[in-house]
Structure 1
Amino acid sequence: MYDFAIIGGGIVGLSTAMAIGERYPDAKILVLEKESRWAFHQTGNNSGVIHSGVYYKPGSFKAKFCRDGCQSMVEFCEKHGIDYEVCGKVIVATDAEELPRLENLYQRGIDNGIEVKRISPEEVREIEPYVNCVGGIRVFSTGIANYKQVCLKYAEIIEKQGGELRLNTKVERIVTSGNHQVLETNNGNFETRFLINCAGLHSDRVAKLGKVDPQAKIVPFRGEYYELKPEKRYLVKTLIYPVPNPEFPFLGVHFTKMIDGSVHAGPNAVLSLKREGYKKTDFDLKDFTEVMTYPGFWKLAAKHADEGIQEIIRSFSKAAFTRSLQKLIPEVQSDDLIPCHAGVRAQALMDDGKLVDDFLIVEGEKSVHVCNAPSPAATSSIEIGKAIANRIPAQSHLQAAVSQA
C-alpha cells in the first residue's frame, strides 16, 4: 500500500513527488509513467525557457508560481550543476500600433514584481543588433535551462527519498476500494491512499477514470519550430519576443537561444489531430473525434478563425513562416531555417469555448488532479509541487495514514 501515487512522469509529476517526499519523509510514494523515459512529452519538447512571469495576470497562479519558480529553478540548477543561463530577453514592438500594448506589458511586469525596463530601439539593438523595432522592454530574469536534466535530477532525489519510480506503466482503470484506490495498469495493480494526477495531455481522462470532473477538456495544439542553421546563429544573442496579441491565446513566433547554443524560431500553434501528434501526419480517431464533437472547440474556432487560418498557413508554408520571423529580424531568409522538433501543448478548454488561462487544479475526495499546466509549468514546477503538497494536509484521514507509515 502506497500513501501517495503520482500518475505522470513529466516535470510537474516528478516535482510533486519530490515535494511530497520532502514534506512527508516517512511516506511511501510511487510515480507511474507510461513511457520508457521521464519527460517524454511536453517537458521533453518545450523551449527550455526559464520564464519571468511578465505576461501573466497579477494575482493568478501563473504569475505567482512563475515569479517564485524563476528564482527557485535557477537556484536548483545552480545547486545541482544543471546547465542554465540567465540571459534575459527583449520584447519588441515592430510598429507604432503595438506600442500601447508594449506599455501595458511593461506595467504588468511591474505589477508582478519583475525587473523590467523600457528601452529605445537603439538600446534594443545594443542587445540584439539585428532586430527591427520601434520600442522594447528588457526582462532581466528570463533564462534558459536543460529541463530534461532537471527531471532526471528530480527522479534521482525521489529515489534517494525512498520513492518508487516505474516507467512503462500505464494506468488503465482506477477503482475505489474502502479508504484507498486501486490503480490497474498494464504492469500490475497498485494500491494507494491518495492519488495525484499529473498526466498532462491525458489529465482530463485520468480524472474521469477517478470519477472526478476535470472541469475542462484537453485540446492538443502542436507548436512547430525551425532552427537557424549554425552559420546564422549570430543573428540572435538571447531571446526575442513580439508583443503578444491579448485577444489570441498564444504568444506568436519568436526566437529562442537554447542551452546547447542553437537558436529555435517559432512556434506556430495548430490543432493536433492526435494528443501526442508531433508530426503533421499523426492522427488518432478517438482524439480527433473528441475534439470535433466538443462544442467548446467550435466556439473557440469561430472566435479566432482569422488567426487560426494564419497559423495553418504558416504550418504548411515555410515562406509564410519566414515572413512572420522577418518582422522581428529582417535578415532571416527561408534558406536559413531548418525544420526541427515540434511540441504538443495540452490546453484545457471550457464548454463555453474559453481557454483555461491559468493552472487548473481540481480536488477529489482522495485525489488532486492537475488538469491544466501550460507554460510556464516547467519554470514553475518546484513551486507547483510545493503547492500541491501543501494542499494535502487538509485531508485529515491522510495525516493519520502518513503518521502510521
Structure 2
Amino acid sequence: MSTNQLYAGYQTELADFRLAFSRGGAYTAIVLVLLGVGLDYGQYPQLQAPFAVARVLVSLLIAGIVMLLYSTAGRRFAPWLTLSWLLLPQIMISWMIWHTDGVESPYYVGLNLAIFASGIALPFGLWQNLVFGILSYLFYLLACVLHSGGIEPAGTFIVNSLFLLFAAAASAVYTYFNERARFMLFRLKAEVAEKNGELEVINRKLVDIKGQMLQQEKMAAIGTLAAGLLHEVNNPVNFCLMAIEVALEEPVAKSEPMLQECLVDAKQGMQRIQHIVSDLKTFAYRKPGAEAEGTPFLFEKALDSSIRLTAHELRGVAVTRELPTDTLVLGDEAAVIGVLINLFSNAALAMRKAGTQGPAIHTTVKWVERRLHVTVKDNGPGIAQEHLARVFEPFFTTREVGQGLGLGLSISYAVIERHGGVLFAESELGKWASFSFDLPRAD
C-alpha cells in the first residue's frame, strides 16, 4: 500500500472516529452541563434560576448540533460542529464568571476542565485544539474585563490566565501525540491486513500445491499399474495377434466369411487393448523436463487417447469433433490428456445425473494466430451462474460427499496456465456448458 493510499484511508477512518466521539462527547457535555445545577445551588443559590435557564438553553443547543451530526452535511462539517458545541459551555461559563465574582469566580475551573478534556478525551486535530484553547482564554479575558471589579486582584488573574494558557498548550501537545499514536495504530492495522492478504495468497498456493501433489501421487499409481499392464498384457496380446494373423491366412478362414469376420473382430479387440495400455503409459509417465520445457506432440493423438481412456464414462454419449489438418503443439502431452479426461468425465457425469436426452459432446479445435484453441461443449444441464465463477477453485465441488475432491478443474487450470494459456468456462443453465483453452504451436 502506497503512502498516499495509507494516508487517505487513515483520514477516512479518522473522520468516522471523530464523528462517533463527537456525538458521544456532546451527550456527555449535556449531562455535565445539567448536573452543574448542584454547583450553582452550593455557590450561588440566589442565581440558581437564571443559571438553570442558561444550562437548559446550552443543553438544547448542543442537542441540536448532535442532530446535525447525524445528517450528510453534518458529517462533512463534523470538526466545525464539534468545535461549536464545545464552545457553547465555555461561553456559558464565561458568562457565569462575569455574572458572579469575575477573576475570583470558581467557575474558572470549568474552562480548564473543558480544555483538558478536548485534548485527552476527544479526537481533536492540533489546530482545532489550539483554536479552542485560545478562544476559551479570550472568553475568560472578556468576562473578567467586563466584570464590575475588572481584573482585580491582578495576581489571581495572572495565575488563572497562565493556568488556562498552560492547559491549552498541554492539550495541544496531548492532541499531537494522540494523533501520531492513532496514525501508527492505523498503519499497524493496515500492515497486518496486508500481511493477512499475503498469507491468504500463500494458503491458496499451498492448496494448489497440495492438489497437484495428490494428482502426482495418483499419476504415479496409474504409472505403476500401466507398467505392470505393459509387462503382463503386451506379451499375451502380441501372441494372440500373431495367432490371429496366422489364422486369417489359413484357407479355411478365407473360405468362411463368418469365421474371417470373427477373426477380424478379435484382432481389432486385441489392438484396442494395446492402445489402452499405451494411452495409460502416456498419461501416467512424463519425460524429465517435459512440464518445464514441453515437447512437440499431435493434439489429435492426445484427444484420441483421452476419448479411449474415458470410453466407459462416455458410453451412450455422442462424441464428435472438428479438427484442422495440423494439430502439432508444444507442451506436456500427459498433462493435456489429463485435462481432456477431466472435461469429458465431468460432462458425461453431469449429463447422466441430469438425465439429458441425446447426450452429446462436441470438440472444436482451430488455430488462432500461433495458438491452438480448443472448446469442449456438451448439451447437458449447464452450470449455475453462482457456481460458474468458482468452478476452478480448489476443493470446490457440487458433487455429493465422497464423489470427488473438487481438484480436477483446479489442476487443469494450472496445467493450461503452465502452457501460457487460459482455461475458462461458459454456460447457459439448462442448455449447455463449454470449457475452452489454448496451447502454443510447436515450431
After TM superposition, the score normalised by the length of structure 2 is 0.19
Greater RCO (CA < 8 Å, at least 6 residues apart): 1
Larger radius of gyration: 2
Bigger proportion of residues as strand: 1
